Structure 1
Amino acid sequence: MKKNVLTAALLALTISTTSFAQDSTQQKAPAKGIFGKVLEAVTNTSAGTGGSLTNTDIASALKQALTIGIGKGSDQASALDGYFKNPLLKLTFPPEAQKVASTLRQIGLNKQVDQFELSLNRAAEDAAKKAKPVFIKAITSMSIQDAVGILRGEKDAATQYLRRTSGQQLVTEFTPIIDSTLKKNNATKYYSDLVNTYNKVPFVQKANPNLTAYATGKAVDGLFLLVAQEEAKIRENPAARVTDLLKKVFGGK
C-alpha cells in the first residue's frame, strides 16, 4: 500500500495541474486523478485517519528535489556569461535610459555602451553566487503545510514560495555585491561617463537613474526566472536528478 501511495507522490511532483479545485473535506467525491489521490493521502495522514504517506516523507523528498534543482538554477546564473549570454536574463540599459544608449550608439560610442552592458551583467553574475545558501535556508525552513501547499498549488508554487520567503533577503545580499562589482568593473564609471556625454547632447531629457538598485532588481528577477524553469523540470522529470532519498521515498524502495 505504501509503495502505491509513494509512487503516486512521485507522479504528483512530475505532473503539472491546474484542475484541482476540490476541498479536502469532500473525501467521498469522485477521484480527481493521481494528484487528487496524493492530496487525499496527505490529508488522511495529517488527520491521523490511516494514510501511509508520512509528513517526513513528503517534506524531506520535496525539499531535496527543490534543493537540487533550484541549486542548479543558481549555479547557472552565477556562471560566467550566466546573465550576459542568456537573452532572457541579460541586463541592458535601464528603461529610463534607453535613449541614452540609442543616442550614444548614433554618435559612434558603440564600444563604450557594450562595455557598460558587459560590466552590468558581470555584476549580476557575481551577486548570484550568494543565492544558493539563501534558497537552501528557505527550503530547509519549509513546513509540512508549505510542502502540501506546493503540491496543491500552481505550476510555479515553489517559485512563489521562494520569492515570498527569500526575495527581500536576496535584494539585501545582492546590493553591496553588485555595487562593489559595478565599481570594480568600472560600470559605474562607464555609466557616469556615458550619461554625462549624453546629457551634453542638446535638447535631450537629462538622465540619472539609480544604477545599483536597477541592476539588483533585474538580477533578482532573472534569478527567479531560472528558478521557475528549474521547478518546471522538477515537476516534469525528477528522475533526471534523483538521490538516494528520492529513490527511497518516491521509488517505492
Structure 2
Amino acid sequence: MENTILSRAPSRDFTASPPSSRRGFLGLSLGGVATLALAGCASYQGYSFTEAIRRLLTIASQDAFEQLLAPGGFYDDQLARLSVDEVLGNRGGVLARILGSTIVRERMMREFNRIAAEGAYRAAPVVADTIRIVGFENAVALVSGEPTAATGYLRTNMGSRLIDVMLPEVSDALRVIDDPVLGPALSELSGVNLSGVADSLTRRTEDAIWSAIGREEAAIRADPYATNDPVLIGVFGARNAVR
C-alpha cells in the first residue's frame, strides 16, 4: 500500500506558538508523529487500519495533554482533579488538623495539581514516541474494539514508562516548593515519607492522563468527522454507519 502522510484538521495547529512554550512543545513532540509516513497492513477500502489507530491515538493524546496542561487543567477537570486526601491518604487529615484551614487545603490541592501538570509535560513526548514505534499487529481488533480500546492497548505497551519519567519531576517539585503557608505542611510531610507522597501523586497523575486520552479517543470514535481527518472518517465513519 502506498504510504500516506498524516494530515490533520486546520483548526488543530499546535505549532503556531513558539517551541519554547508548552503548546509549541506539544505540537512539536506529538506533531512529529503526525508527519510520519505510515504504511498499513489491514485496511478498509484503501484506508490502513494501522494508520487509523496511530492517527486516533495521536489526536487523542494531543487533545488530552492540551486540556490537562492548560491553566487550571488538572484542577478544573473532574476526571483529573487531584485532591489532598487522595494523594496524602490519612496524612491529609493530619495536616488539616494541624493547619486548621480550608484555604490552606485548597492551596495545597492547587499545588499538587500544578506539580501533576509538570509531570504530564514530561510525559507527553514519551507517549508520542510510543505511538510511533508500537506495532499494531491487531489493528483490526482495535478498530472494532471498545471506545477506549486503543488507549488501553497503548497503556499496556508503555508499562511503567510514564511513572519512570514523571516521578523525578514530581519528587523534585515537592522538595522545592517555597511557600510561607504550604512550607509547614510540607515539613510535616518530610517526616512521613515524602517519597511515598511523590509516588502517590505520580500514580494519580498517570491515571488522570490515561483517563483523558481515553475520553478523547471515545469522542473521536463517536464523531470522526470532527477531526477532518480522511483516514479516521473513512475507517470509523464507515464503522459507525453499519452499526
Q: Please, what TM-score do these two structures have when normalized by structure 1?
A: 0.64
Instruction: Kindly provide the CA deviation profile for residues 147-205 of structure 1, in whole angstroms up to 9, marking residues without a partner as x.
Output: 22312333221121121122411101111111222233348845333558xx9xxxxxx
Q: Distance in 1 between matches of 2:232 and 2:143?
A: 16
- Displacement, 1:86? 1.9
Given the alignment of the two structures, is residue 96 of structure 1 paired with residue 82 of structure 2, yes or no? no
Q: Does 1:191 align with 2:182?
A: no
Gaps spanning 5+ residues in structure 1: where?
Answer: 1-44, 200-206
Q: Could you say if the C-alpha distance between residues 186 and 121 of structure 1 is closer, same or farther in structure 2, counting changes exceeding 3 Å?
A: farther
- Once residues 56 and 68 of structure 2 are traced to their aligned partners in structure 1, the CA distance between those partners, rounded to angstroms, is 19
Whichever residue aligns with residue 53 of structure 2, its letter is: L
Matched AA of 2:101: L
CA distance, structure 2, for counterparts of residue 157 and residue 224 of structure 1: 12
**1:220-235 equivalences in 2 (<5 Å):** 220-235=206-221
Structure 2 residue corresponding to 1:161, chosen from 153, 163, 175: 153
User: What CA distance in whole angstroms lies between the structure 1 residues aligned with 2:207 and 2:77?
Assistant: 13
Q: Secondary structure at the match of 1:233?
A: helix
Q: 2:225 maps to what in 1?
A: 239
Equivalent residues of 1:124, 1:216 under 8 A apart: yes
Please give the alpha-carbon distance, in whole angstroms, between the structure 2 residues aligned to 1:173 and 1:231. 23
* Alignment partners' CA distance in 2, 1:84 and 1:52: 41
Deviates more, 1:225-234 or 1:125-134: 125-134
Question: Which residue of structure 1 lines up, in the alignment, with residue 59 of structure 2?
Answer: 68
Query: How do 1:125-144 residues align onto structure 2 when only pairs under 5 Å count?
Result: 125-144=117-136
Match of 1:243, as an amino acid? D
> Is residue 64–residue 213 contact of structure 2 (8 Å, CA) maintained in 1?
yes
RMSD: 3.0
Query: What residue identity is the alignment partner of 2:89?
Result: P
Q: How many residues align?
A: 192
- Is the CA contact (8 Å cut-off) linking 1:134 and 1:170 kept in structure 2? yes
Which structure would you say has the larger RCO, counting Cα contacts within 8 Å and 6 or more residues apart?
A: 1
- Output the CA distance in 2 between the equivalents of 1:166 and 1:71: 17
| Aligned residues of 2:56 and 2:217 also touching (Cα < 8 A) | no
Give the corresponding residue for 1:58.
49
> Does the 8 A contact of 1:78 with 1:127 survive in 2?
no
Are residue 77 (structure 1) and residue 71 (structure 2) matched? no
* 1:219 pairs with 2:197: no
Going from structure 1 to structure 2, the CA distance change for 1:242 and 1:66 (only over 3 Å counts) comes to: farther
Change in 2 beyond 3 A, CA 1:98/1:193: same
Q: Structure 2 length as normaliser, TM-score?
A: 0.67
Q: Using a 3 Å threshold, how does the CA distance of structure 1 residues 158 and 144 change in structure 2: closer, same or farther?
A: closer
Number of the residue aligned with 2:107: 115
Counterpart for residue 17 of structure 1? none
Q: Which has the larger radius of gyration?
A: 1
Deviations 1:14-45 (A, max 9, x none): xxxxxxxxxxxxxxxxxxxxxxxxxxxxxxx8
- The aligned runs of 1:22-41 (5 Å cut-off) are none
Distance 1:179 1:208 in 2: 11
Determine the C-alpha separation between the residues in 2 that align with 1:52 and 1:88.
Answer: 34
Q: Which runs of 5+ in 2 are unaligned?
A: 1-40, 239-243
